Structure 1
Amino acid sequence: MTEFDTDRGSLNAGLAIAGLLAGSVLLLAAGRAPANGHRNGRAAALPPRRSSRKRPTVVAARRLNRAAGVLAASVLADSSVEHYRGSFKNKAMYTPLIVSASTLATSLHGTADARPAAHWFRDATYLTAAVSGLIGTGFHIYNVGKKVGGFSWQNFFYGAPIGAPMAILLSGLLGFCSERVRESRKGTRPEIFQLPAGRTMAAVIGAGLLGTSGEAGLLHFRGAFHNPFMLLPVTLPPLGAALLGRAALAGPGQQHRATRWWMRVLAAMGFAGVGLHAYGVSRNMGGWRNWSQNILNGPPLPAPPSFAGLALAGLAALELMEDHPDA
């Protein structure tokens, strides 16, 4: 088989994977997650698991748990590959693996929990993730600054990615906010730190999309945008952030249909990016036959789903605003 045929076969395989993933996330994002409403309760005495009417706040909280889990899974896989490539030179490099794995497990627990009460252990795990994300960002900034030349383009391109730890910060923040939404009393406005929960989350997620897009833009600029698809993560997410910002500032009663559809597009882009990165790995010398080296040196396979996690969180915030117009 010629090199051209091999590349074409890899492209077709990558696009097939991307199509399957995109279709799955569209179905996932378009559907409303089933959740049963229950009596009010506190974390100290969670209410029993009984079928009742759906509670919009619990539905929204479980969606946020799911979004936090997607982000945590992306961080777990990405940090495992990148820190393995760095030979875990600093023992602190094990921290994001432990924290993201714990956050993922906690998010799965929250997604399965249909009770309208916050859980103290989930709160503690999510807060730990947020703090570790801040500390990790500091470590990465220090890593870049200590290299010869300091804060130069060369070091930004090839040093520790400054924006990477912010993903676990966002995962922890989304999870912690999901618990605040979950424990909202029936008949009251869901709030986060006395702010309307839906609009606050829309603003936070919009900022997260901008930051994630900036990180992707830096690395794709390093790759000279040699593939037109590399423009997608630096053009589509900022538009999504603008739409979420408008939703956050809009008054009650708005439908935000265009914003919801854009979030679904971003979710599909995030999962389809795995297929495109897989194609990028296949184009390196040896292709997938040399996977042990090319996965480390090719485009990061686990990175694109971070966009999907933020988009799913955006959908949760928009649905909450629809169910609670004053949120």
Structure 2
Amino acid sequence: MTGWIGWPLERVVLLLLGLMFLMIFVQVTMFHYRQNFRHWSMWIPVLATPVDGLALVTLAFYNADWLRVVLAVLMGASLVAGVFGSIMHVRGVGERVGGYEVRNFLVGPPAALPGLITISSLLGLFLLYWS
């Protein structure tokens, strides 16, 4: 247990952010599997989030410059994918019967989940470049 004593906040947040990406992977996989991967873009978060999560967790335990570069590219790509996913999800809500009604936001594609990926990726980039 003494290995955790003295960890800087950046390292702890990297670990927690990596675990969060792995949890997002579980959720997004279930949602997209439920919809039978009807659109090719549904594979993007299913493939990207576990890679992001594992890279973040690895960086928390093994601080290497090359890994920071790889992670910066991954976080940038996930940020763009999150924005694209937000557009697709909001568009998907509008395609349901009744359009942009409140009930379609409740039962349609989760409009907030791609935003969570976007914000998490942005946090990862802040961790890499702010410290």
Q: TM-score range by the shorter chain?
A: 0.7 to 0.9
The equivalent residue for 1:228 is none
Q: Name the CA shift for 1:160/1:64 in 2 (closer, same or farther; >3 Å).
A: same
The equivalent residue for 2:95 is 146
Identical-residue share of aligned pairs (%): 22
Q: Choose from 32, 43, 48 the match for 1:83.
A: 32
AA matched with 2:11: R
The equivalent residue for 1:71 is 20
Kept in 2, the 8 Å contact 1:68–1:172? The answer is no
- C-alpha displacement at 1:115, in angstroms? 5.8
Q: Does 1:168 align with 2:117?
A: yes
SS across alignment from 2:113: coil
1:50-105 CA-partner distances (Å, limit 9, x unpaired): xxxxxxxxx23212211221221121000111111101111211111111011112
The equivalent residue for 2:78 is 129
Counterpart Cα distance in 1 of 2:108 and 2:86: 13
1:191-202 equivalence runs, <5 A: none
Kept in 1, the 8 Å contact 2:19–2:57? The answer is no
SS across alignment from 1:89: coil
Kept in 2, the 8 Å contact 1:71–1:168? The answer is no
The equivalent residue for 2:58 is 109
Unaligned runs of 5+ in 1: 1-26, 36-58, 183-327
Kept in 1, the 8 Å contact 2:28–2:46? The answer is yes
Give the aligned length. 130
SS across alignment from 1:73: helix
Counterpart Cα distance in 2 of 1:114 and 1:34: 15
Q: Does 1:94 align with 2:43?
A: yes
AA matched with 2:109: A
Please identify which structure carries the higher helix content.
2
- C-alpha displacement at 1:158, in angstroms? 0.8
Structure (1 or 2) with the larger CA radius of gyration: 1
Unaligned runs of 5+ in 2: none
1:117-266 equivalence runs, <5 A: 119-182=68-131
Kept in 2, the 8 Å contact 1:66–1:111? The answer is yes
- C-alpha displacement at 1:113, in angstroms? 2.4
Counterpart Cα distance in 1 of 2:111 and 2:91: 9
Q: Name the CA shift for 1:107/1:123 in 2 (closer, same or farther; >3 Å).
A: same
Q: Name the CA shift for 1:115/1:135 in 2 (closer, same or farther; >3 Å).
A: same
Counterpart Cα distance in 2 of 1:137 and 1:32: 37
TM-score (norm 2): 0.87
SS across alignment from 1:124: helix
AA matched with 1:86: Q
Kept in 2, the 8 Å contact 1:126–1:173? The answer is yes
1:118-147 CA-partner distances (Å, limit 9, x unpaired): 821111111111111111011000000111
SS across alignment from 1:169: helix
Counterpart Cα distance in 2 of 1:143 and 1:104: 27
The structure 1 segments of at least 4 consecutive aligned residues displaced by more than 3 Å after TM superposition are 31-35, 114-118
- C-alpha displacement at 1:34, in angstroms? 4.6
AA matched with 1:107: L
Kept in 2, the 8 Å contact 1:68–1:171? The answer is yes
